[in-house]
Amino acid sequence: MANEFMTITADLSDVPGLRGRYTGNLAQELAYPDTWDGVNKALVENPSRTAWWATLYVFARDRRDRAKEALDDTWAVEEDKVRKAAALRDEDLKEAEVKARVRMSPAYRDANLKYLDAKRDAELLHNARERFVQRQESIVERARNYRAEADMGGQRVMEERKQHLAAAMRQGRGSVGQRGEVVALSRARAGRTGRPGADAYPETED
């Protein structure tokens, strides 16, 4: 039922070049990726999907506006018919009676149904477009979080390596090459933080 509820069908039968109906499942298209590869793919694909749904909304909004104009025109025509028919029968109709007869006319009821359908489609597609905009923001934020986690992981590995080498130096088991690596790691850390590491080892000569 949830998937059926999230399925939107846009009527494009009166749109030049896009004749027919387009059906999209928002539950699938708006799903959030939970892997780094999925985030990268979404970063590439989501903008085009957002543009597609925004385009559908523009067409739906235009269809809604034209349906509203047709509804207003139909009201005017049917009201004129009601008033002329009443005049021929010498009926003195109140405004409420005129409106009631217009609303009950088949032409107005048909035009009103078309307008309500177009209005519903426009509202649904407007909401769909907004969800894709929000999805883009969330995907970008998720990408930042993944990148930050990866950077932290790399820093942690470097720090653990430096601590291991420093311990070897203190125990007199370190080689000249290891001493150089400690200094290099400390300098790398200083480059990231703007200050030398607190436990950095000075360069030594053998």
Half-sphere exposure of 140 (CA within 13 A, CB side): 8
- For residue range 43-89, what is the model confidence (pLDDT) as tens digits? 888 888 888 888 888 888 998 999 999 999 999 999 999 999 999 98
> What is the predicted pLDDT for the residue at 206?
42
- The angle formed by the CA atoms of residues 19, 22 and 28, to the nearest 5 degrees, is 165
This prediction has a pTM of 0.61
- The angle formed by the CA atoms of residues 24, 29 and 30, to the nearest 5 degrees, is 125
Contact between 91 and 83 under an 8 Å Cβ cutoff? The reply is no
Encoded tokens for 152: 């932290």
- For residue range 139-176, what is the model confidence (pLDDT) as tens digits? 887 778 777 776 665 566 566 666 666 666 566 554 44
- For residue range 110-129, what is the model confidence (pLDDT) as tens digits? 999 999 999 988 998 898 88
